[in-house]
Amino acid sequence: MNKKVFLIFVVICFVVIGILPILFMLAKSVNVDGHFSLFFYKNFMNSRREWTLIGNSFTLSFLTALFTTIIGLPLGILFAKTDLPLKKLFTILFTIPLLIPPYITAISWFDLLGREGLLSKIINPAMAEITSKWLFGLPGCVLILFSTFLPIVILLTITFLKTINPRLEEAGKLVSGWPGVLKGITIPLIMPGLLLASILVFLLTLGELGVPTFLRYDVFPVESFTQFSAFYNFGAATAAAVPLVIITLIVLVIERIFLRDKTYQLHPAVGGDKSSTINLGVYRKWFLIIVVLLCFCSIILPFLVLLFHSFSAGVYKEALSRAGDSLFRSVAYAAIGASALAVLGFFLGYLIHSKTFRFWRAIDSLTIFLFALSGTIIGIGLINLWNRPATNFIYASPVIIIFGYLAQYTALTSRITVSTLAQIPSSMEEAAQVSGAKWIRRITLITAPMAKRGLIAGWLVGYIFCLRDMGVTMLVYPPGHDTFPVRIFTLMANGSTELIAALCVIMIIATLLPLGIGGILFKLRGFIK
Amino acid sequence: MSIIEFKNVSKYYNETPVIQNFSMKIDAGEKIVILGQSGCGKTTVLRLLAGFISPDSGEIIIDNQIVAAEGKIIKEPEERNLGMVFQDLALWPHLSVKGNLEFGLKAKGVQKSKREKYIPEMLKLMQMEKSVHAKPAELSGGQQQRVALARALILHPEILIMDEPLSSLDQDLNVRLRKEILKLQKKIGFALLYVTHDREEAFDIGSRIIVMKDGKIERIGSSEKIKKYFG
């Protein structure tokens, strides 16, 4: 098949699955009883509550982005450039909260700091009363989303540090110590990457539904979700969603204008992995103590509490009997979703990398836009588009969930593909071309096998994000097809705390197990040094 | 009779001319070297001939057929029956030596029985029989060059294009492989279009040399004539 024809087909699939639902949603928000009307928007503009929600959303997103950047940058530098002991282990540990649904982290903190949490039993109930008040509200939301999104800043800092030519730092080292080099050379060089990480955290926090719902902090996605699920008011739900769409667009346009060319393709610098290590000297043990304390307090302790809480007779058995079916479904849907994401992301990544069409930048921006958009909005858009008799076979089946995954997470696999393809010389495909191979043959026998590391990594990342998804799934799942995160969220209303803790532990294992197996296989096959 | 012809070909990148009004002909079995400094446009000529890029103006003709003209690629690279050795060799790292050679044969629909015959023959010609199952990373620089050459020649192209293939090798190996290429060219009889910035290499290989500067042909003539020109 012709390359351009095939890639156009892929683009059409992406537009139908990801973009069309959003456009439909926007169109429906200005349609009242079959006529154009700005009724919902007028209501929205005149409502003081909506403005409060915008303020809340902004405050939460800003504070989360600020704290993750302030803490994530030094941690990223510590893990990437210093002789800190166990830095690889710390990187993995700090990444765990990103891999599980954020509301599970919220539950674990609730089990620790809530009115009847562990703290009230160990210290005293009065203390727990204060911490509980603190947890339910802005500080609690910031704390949980901080630990959830901190890995984004850490990992991007590590990644961008690897793109720096070590000679640049060495030239600085001739005239300055490491603090001066970091301040004057290293950090300014990775600043675009750092800003990108902050923007991502800001947007992901802006779209987060689970944590604010659980901690009863009113933000915009919650309003959209409530209008839709509690009042079934599509118009109000979409009107409430539009400001988020606009904010996401504005932030991404700013990112595009100022950062895109600086952060677009990540090429590891020659010798980037051999850059000189910062010797922490006498400060080594102090840095280690700080990192251990931060890791223990923000990651290990809450999960230990969860584990501790779930240790009661028969609770895991009950958990599996009440949610085992949804766990099985979740794993299956995540595997299917990840496979579809790997394929769609690969071809879109190929299109972006090879700049096959003039609109390659638009495709790239749209995938990022959808990734940054709240899952609630994508969910509402999908329902708007597919909930009609002719397409009921999609709407009433798990296909709608897979569509949701594809709409939201294609950016992950397409970006991984772009980075992978950037490391494969174009001459590889050209050599296949002069050997007489048509495009499909070149892609399947040369490019894809050479990019298999990126494909597998993309699949794993896709699997994890599909498995942890709640924003889209919560809205679109057909009856009898709820996923594990959704089931836990539903059971939270009437299940015992022990049961919920056990379900959360199972969720964490289901997420980390394939990642661990994948990591071991990658290592055995020499993909990871 | 010429098998390749460039007629007033120009190519621009971001409105900057890379090659301008470039015209040349290559006859069957001829050895032509394009000589020039980095950035003079010599690799662009090869990429135009291979069909990876299209000329903004002018025509490229292979076997009396226009294959590219005025911004359009009429015949895709896979349909041009050219052999090419890339500067970085572009050996597919996930395929063995045999896999690298077999890929093009399969793409052209050559039957298995014939493939089983051609590959050992070609490897014998290159003195690479023992490395048939080796992956490119397991081979020395010289062996990798031979595999790249074998991969390009196994499809019996009328013309072999070589883009500074020996530039990364040490002087001894460079000279030895040059001789091997010439021996093969004499034996098989393909036309050779060779690009280099090294004068000695150019005089050694080419029967005709095209000297390029700033995207234009500065001088064209026999090896001896160009040698004299450079003094």
Chain Cα centroid distance, residue A501: 23
Task: Give the CATH number of the domain where residue A168 resides.
Answer: 1.10.3720.10
Task: Examine the domain organization and report whether A248 and A291 are in the same domain.
Answer: yes
CB contact under 8 A, A433 and B52: yes
> Residue A263 above 60 pLDDT?
no
Nearest-Cα residue of chain A relative to residue B49:
A434
CB contact under 8 A, B88 and A427: yes
Number of Cα atoms under 13 Å in the Cβ half of residue B201: 26
Find the closest chain A residue to B101 by CA distance.
A435
Q: Choose the closest CB to B77 out of A425, A434, A446.
A: A434
The residue-averaged pLDDT of A321-335 equals 93
CA distance linking residue A154 with residue A84, whole number of Å = 15
- pLDDT score, position A14: 96
> What is the SS3 string spanning A249-318?
HHHHHHHHHHCHHHHCCCCCCCCHHHCCCECCHHHHHHHHHHHHHHHHHHHHHHHHHHHHHHCCCCHHHH
Where is the domain boundary, A309, A329, A357? Answer: A309
Residues of A in contact with B91 (CB under 8 A): 431
Q: A451 — contact with chain B (CB < 8 Å)?
A: no
Distance CA B177, CA B167 (A): 11
What is the pLDDT, as a whole number, of residue B125?
85
Looking at the predicted structure, is the pLDDT value of residue A246 above 90?
A: no
Residues of B in contact with A446 (CB under 8 A): 92, 103
Q: Give the CA-trace dihedral at B182, B187, B189, B192, to 10 degrees.
A: -20
Q: Are A445 and B103 inside 8 Å of each other by CB?
A: yes
Q: CB distance from A446 to chain B under 8 Å?
A: yes
Dig out the tokens for B24 from the structure: 């040349």
Question: pLDDT tier at A264 (50, 70, 90 boundaries)?
Answer: low
What is the distance between the alpha carbons of residues A208 and A470, in angstroms, rounded to a whole number? 10
Q: Is the pLDDT of residue A76 over 90?
A: yes
Q: Does the pLDDT value for residue A273 go beyond 60?
A: no
Query: Which helix or strand (DSSP H or E) is residue A454 part of?
Result: helix A452-468
Predicted pLDDT at A527: 59
Q: Is A291 found in the same domain as A213?
A: yes
Instruction: Tokens 């994530």: give the residue.
Output: A72
Query: A450, B94: Cβ pair inside 8 Å?
Result: yes
pLDDT band at A255; cut points 50, 70, 90:
confident
Contact between chains at B155 and A433 (C-beta distance less than 8 A): no
Among A309, A333, A354, identify where a domain stops: A309
pLDDT at A58: 92
Mean pLDDT lowest among A63-67, A157-161, A309-313, B136-140: A309-313
Nearest to A441 among B79, B87, B107 (CB): B107
Q: What are the sequence ranges of the domains in chain B?
A: 1-81+159-231, 90-156
Phi-psi region of A161 (alpha: psi -120 to 50; beta: other; left: phi over 0): alpha
Residue A321 sits at the vertex; the CA angle it makes with A319 and A327, to the nearest 5 degrees, is: 75
DSSP B6: E
A101: pLDDT strictly greater than 80: yes
Strands B65-69 and B57-62: antiparallel
Q: How many helices (H) and strands (E) does chain A have?
A: 30, 2
Name the nearest CA neighbour of A367 among A160, A359, A327: A359
Q: What's the pLDDT score for residue A443? A: 94
- On whether residue A42 sits in a domain, the answer given is no
Please state, in angstroms and as integers, the Cα–Cα distance from residue A435 to each residue in A34, A300, A318, A439, B160, following that order.
Answer: 58, 55, 61, 12, 12
Residue A406 contacts residue A342 (beta carbons within 8 Å): no
**Which of A434, A445, A450 lies closest to B82 in CB terms?**
A434
Q: A437: nearest CA in chain B?
A: B107
Tell me whether residues B90 and A430 touch, CB distance under 8 A.
yes
Give the 3-state secondary structure of A332-375.
Answer: HHHHHHHHHHHHHHHHHHHHHHHCCCCCHHHHHHHHHHHHHCCH
Count CA atoms closer than 13 A to B202's CA, side-chain side: 25
Residue B77's closest chain A neighbor by CA?
A434
Helix locations, chain B, DSSP H: 42-50, 97-107, 112-125, 141-153, 171-188, 199-205, 223-230
Which residues of chain B fall below pLDDT 50? none
Question: From CA A277, how far away is CA A83, in angstroms rounded?
Answer: 6
Question: Percent of chain A at pLDDT above 70?
Answer: 96
A43 in a domain, yes or no? no
Q: What is the DSSP letter of A82?
A: B
Q: What is the pLDDT of residues A102-133, one digit of tens each?
A: 888 998 998 888 888 888 888 777 888 888 88
Rounded distance between C-alpha atoms, residue B215 and residue B231, angstroms: 23
Judge: B104–A437 Cβ closer than 8 Å, yes or no.
yes
Class level of CATH domain B1-81+159-231: alpha beta
Nearest chain A residue to B85, by CA:
A431
CA-based nearest distance A433→chain B, Å? 5
Q: What is the mean pLDDT of residues A322-351?
A: 95
CA distance B182 to A84: 57
* A445 lies within 8 A of chain B by CB: yes
Q: Which residue of B has its CA nearest to A2?
A: B76
Using the 3D structure, point to which of A290, A309, A328 is the last residue of a domain: A309
Q: Does residue A292 form part of some domain?
A: yes
Amino acid at A52: T
* Average pLDDT over every residue of A305-330: 88
| Spacing of C-alpha A259 from chain mean position | 20
The chain B residues in contact with chain A (CB within 8 A) are 50-52, 76-84, 86-88, 90-94, 103-104, 107-108, 151-152, 155
pLDDT-derived band at A268 (thresholds 50, 70, 90) equals: low
Pair A445, A432: CB distance under 8 Å: yes
Which amino acid does the sequence have at B229? Answer: Y
- What span, in angstroms and rounded, lies between the C-alpha atoms of B147 and A437? 18
Measured CA to CA, the distance from residue B53 to residue B46 in angstroms comes to 10
User: What is the rounded CA–CA span in Å between residue B195 and residue B180?
Assistant: 17
Identify the pLDDT of residue A270.
56
Mean pLDDT, rounded, of chain A: 87
Q: Which domain holds residue A199?
A: 48-309
Which of B103, B119, B161 to substitute to test the interface with A, most A CBs within 10 Å? B103
Residues of A in contact with B82 (CB under 8 A): 434
Q: How far is B79 from chain A (nearest CA, A)?
A: 6
Q: Six-digit token pair at A72?
A: 């994530």
CB within 8 Å: B94 and A441: no
CB-based contact A435 B80, cutoff 8 Å:
no
For residues B220 and B32, what is the distance between their CA atoms, to the nearest angstrom? 10
Question: Residue B164 carries which DSSP code?
Answer: S
Contacts of B104 in chain A (CB under 8 A): 432, 435-437
A266 and A247 assigned to the same domain: yes
Residue from B67, B48, B38 nearest B9 by CA:
B48
β pairing state of B208-213 and B191-196: unpaired
Q: What is the dihedral of CA B212, B216, B221, B226, to 10 degrees?
A: -40
Interface size between A and B, measured as CB pairs under 8 A? 66
In angstroms, the CA B9 to CA B68 distance is 10
Q: Among residues A452, A472, A460, which one has the least CA distance to residue A516?
A: A460
- In this predicted structure, the answer to whether residue A272 has a pLDDT above a threshold of 60 is no
| A247 CB neighbour count, 10 Å cutoff | 21
pLDDT at A242: 80
Residue in A425, A438, A450 closest to B88 by CB:
A425
**A23-64: per-residue pLDDT in tens?**
988 888 787 777 888 877 787 778 888 888 889 999 999 999
pLDDT at A526: 66
Residue of chain A whose alpha carbon sits nearest to that of B153:
A435
How far does A428 lie from chain B, in Å, by closest CA?
5
Phi and psi angles of residue B99, each rounded to the nearest 5 degrees, phi first: -60, -40
A450 touches B at CB < 8 Å: yes
Query: Closest-CA residue in chain A for B160?
Result: A434
Q: Does A433 touch chain B (CB under 8 A)?
A: yes
The total domain count for chain A is: 2
> Roughly how many angstroms between the first and final C-alpha of chain B, as a whole number?
31
Band of the pLDDT at A261, cuts 50, 70, 90?
A: low
Per DSSP, what are the bridge partners of residue B160? B83, B192
Residue given tokens 């990112």 in the structure block: A255
pLDDT digits (tens, 9 = 90+) for A177-208: 888 889 888 898 888 889 888 988 998 898 88
Complex prediction ipTM: 0.82
**Does the beta-carbon distance from B86 to A430 stay under 8 Å?**
yes
Instruction: For residue B52, give the nearest of A430, A436, A438 by CB distance.
Output: A430
Alpha-carbon gap, residue B61 to B25, rounded angstroms:
9
For residue B182, is it left (φ>0), alpha (ψ between -120 and 50) or beta? alpha
Question: pLDDT grade, residue A262 (50/70/90)?
Answer: low
What confidence tier does A275 reach under pLDDT thresholds 50, 70, 90?
Answer: low
pLDDT of A528 = 53
3-state DSSP assignment of residue A424:
coil
Nearest CA in chain A to B102: A435
Do residue A431 and residue B86 have CB atoms under 8 angstroms apart? yes
Same domain, A170 and A21: no
Q: Is residue A300 domain-shared with residue A371, that is, in the same domain?
A: no
* CA nearest to B51 within chain A: A434
Looking at the fold, whether A397 and A504 belong to one and the same domain comes out as yes
Mutate: best of A4, A434, A453, partner B, most B CBs <10 A: A434
Residue type, A190: I
Are the C-beta atoms of A41 and A29 separated by less than 8 Å? yes
Percent of chain A topping pLDDT 90? 43
Section A128-143 average pLDDT:
90
The mean pLDDT value for A58-73 works out to 96
Average the pLDDT over each of A40-49, A88-97, A367-376 and give the range with the smallest value: A40-49
Top mean-pLDDT range of A186-190, A267-271, A277-281, A478-482: A478-482
| Contact by Cβ (8 Å): B160, B153 | yes
